[in-house]
Structures are given as C-alpha cells and as structure tokens.
A = this chain, B = another copy of it.
Amino acid sequence: MTQLNVAMIGHQFMGRAHSNAWRQLPRFFDVPFEPVLSTLCGRDPSSVEKAAHQLGWNDSATDWRQVVRSPDIDVIDICTPGESHAEIAIAAAEAGKVVLCEKPLANTLEDAERMFAAVSEAGVVHMLCHNYRRAPAVCLAKELIDAGQIGEIRHFRGVYLQDWIVDPDFPRVWRLEKAKAGSGALGDIASHSLDLARHLVGEISAVSGLLETFIDERPLEDGSGRGVVDVDDAALCLVRFENGAIGTIEGSRFCPGRKNYNRFEINGSKGSLVFDLERMNELEFYEEVGPTSGFRTILATDPEHPFVQNWWPPGHILGYEHTFTHTIHDLVCAIDSGELPTPNFGDGVVNQRVLDAIARSSESRQWEEI
C-alpha cells in the first residue's frame, strides 16, 4: 500500500488530537494509503522533539517553510493558532501539497479568501477540520435530514457553551487577544455551531449579531500586570437561512457547568433532532408516529451508524478524539478519489463571511446580509 507522508505544524491541543487521528486511522480503518507520521514541526527545538517522541512522529523540525517544501512530504496538517494559517497554507499549496487546516480557516476574511484562491489555483486537495461534523450521531442527523425524515427545516437552535473564563482572575491567554485569536467565543466556538448549521440546514443569508465582553481586563500570564481583553466573551445572533429556516446561534465561555456544551436543536415540518456534544454518542429524534411518539434517544453506536462498525460493538461509546480520526479518514479517501472533501477551504471562506457579518451587525445594530 502506498504511503502518505504527513507533516504537521503545531503540537499543542489540536496537534495532539490530529496526531492521534493519524496514528489510529490505519489501526481501525482500511484506507487506500498508509499514513506515515513523518515530521512534526514547532518553534522550539527541544519541545518539538519531545512532542514528536510522545506523539509518535518519526522526526521533528523547526522551520515550517522547509518542511512545506520538502519533496518527501505529501500532506501538510496545520494545527497552529489562526494567525499563521494563511502563510503556511498558501506556501503548502504552492508546493503542491495536500493541505488540512484546523479551524478557523483564518483570522480574517481576506486571509481566508487568499488561502482558498491558493489551493484552488494549485489544484491541491484541501480540507478544513471541523471535526464535529463527523461524530457518528451528527452524521446520522445529516442522513436523516437528507432522507427527508424531518421534512422542511424551520428552526435551528445552536449553542456552544463553556465555562473556563468565568473566573475574572483567569489570565489573559492568547485566545483572549484579538491579534492572535481573531475573535473570542465567536470564532472559537460559535463557529462550530455555525459550521453545523450550514452543514445540516443550509446557507445563511442574513444575521443580527450581538458580541459582548463581560470582563475587559485580566491578569497577564507572566504575572507582570493586567492586559486588555479585546475579543468577545459571548457571541449571539439571529440567523435567516436561504431556504426559509430561521434560527439562533450562540457561543459563550461564561456558562457555569457547561464544559463543552455544543448543542443544537433542529425542527422540521415532520420531525426534530437534538444533539449535545457532552453526550456525543446520542442523537435525539422525534417523528410523529401516533400515541407512542416521543423524542427517542438513539445511541449512535450500532454497526449501521456512520463510522461505528470499525470500532466497537453496540453501546461501547466513542470519545471526542474519534471525530478527528473520521475527519482524516475522509481526507485520505478524498486524496484517493480526487473528490474534494467537505468542509474545505471554500466552506472556510463562507464561514468567515458569516462570522464577519455577525461582528459587523453587532457594531451597526442592524441586520447584515451575507
């Protein structure tokens, strides 16, 4: 079987998740290529070397430009913060590599568009990693919608709630700096809800947004004083979809007890669907079937559920990390088939366009068209 040589840039949280996915893929799935974890790239020589060993990479490097140009590498997997995505992805495209980019595609719409142009022009396979699309329960939701089982969609209600910055003494980390993170809850978590909305319901035509920062100054991490929080702590919006559905999307990190509560409810003319990432193996589904109608909790762990038969028997649940393995599975299949996987950089551009409109609307205090 042909090998697929992968280099990954970045080795923090997302780097660990992607590494695991590359490692696990061939252990559980029959794929057309055998991924080789060739090179892990990071800034600091000693920490990237240590990470490479821990995460199972053959080699480590510190100069991403060199890695990107290396003829031995087939795939560039970008796991750095958003600010550097554009530069790396464009160079990778120009070098003819397959590019997988962790979300958000970029911190600005301009960068996202440049990236999409670059991969399109280069004709390389590109994919954006919005891993939650590939939780089996979400895949099942998509199947049910596509099969018409909830009818014409009327409502989408998406929230992504966490609580890790409720404490005002929590430090001003990079995710709270606009220069590095682009935005706050909006790009970090509301963007996941948005991506699921587009995936499951359709394109958004207009938004009314509200961004709010509750704590505008926090202690610096190095203890040297206090720094400004210039991103949103919470992002809310009303949305109109092109197909006539309406909805709400919200992200906040100020919700005590909500650890990773990425929840959506979709109501159609014939049924409803509810998903909650904290119980990601379950999908709630309602259809009208007379006196025994009720929301059913589908434990999406049966062999007929997407991706499941390659793992464990029914009722043996999957975890967070499996969603990345499924994502990379589909990327590897796409490399083989030549069909562009989704979401890809084109989706990244559209997502960014909507996020931009939400921010703009919060300023203008009126609806903004996409």
Contacts and interface: CB of A to CB of B under 8 A. Distances in A.
A272 B258 contact: yes
Interface in A145-168: 149-150, 154-155, 157, 159, 161-162, 164, 166
B267 A246 contact: no
Interface residues of A, number: 93
Contacts of A283: 294
Contacts of A285: 292, 294
B144 A292 contact: yes
A331 B286 CA distance: 37
B259 A299 contact: yes
A267 B287 contact: no
Contacts of A254: 154-155, 267, 269
B317 A278 contact: yes
Given A256-B267, A290-B304, A318-B320, 4 more contacts: A155-B252, A157-B250, A260-B301, A278-B281
A40 interface: no
A343 interface: no
Contacts of A261: 315
Nearest to A316: B320
A208 B299 CA distance: 34
A150 B322 CA distance: 35
Interface string A173-193: 000000000000000000000
Given A256-B150, A277-B315, A293-B257, A210 B208 contact: yes
B234 A246 contact: yes
Given A256-B272, A365-B367, A157 B154 contact: no
A297 B258 CA distance: 12
Interface of A: 13, 17, 19-20, 23, 26-27, 54-56, 140, 144, 149-150, 154-155, 157, 159, 161-162, 164, 166, 208, 210, 212, 214, 234, 236-238, 240, 244, 246-248, 250, 252, 254-261, 265, 267-272, 277-281, 283-288, 290-299, 301-302, 304-305, 311-322, 364-367
Q: Per DSSP, are chain A's interface residues mostly helix, strand or loop, or mixed?
A: mixed
Nearest to A319: B319
Contacts of A26: 54
A15 to B, nearest CB: 12
A129 B272 CA distance: 32
A286 B257 contact: yes
Contact of A293 (B236, B248, B281, B296): B296
A359 to B, nearest CB: 14
Contacts of A271: 256-257
A140 B293 CA distance: 12
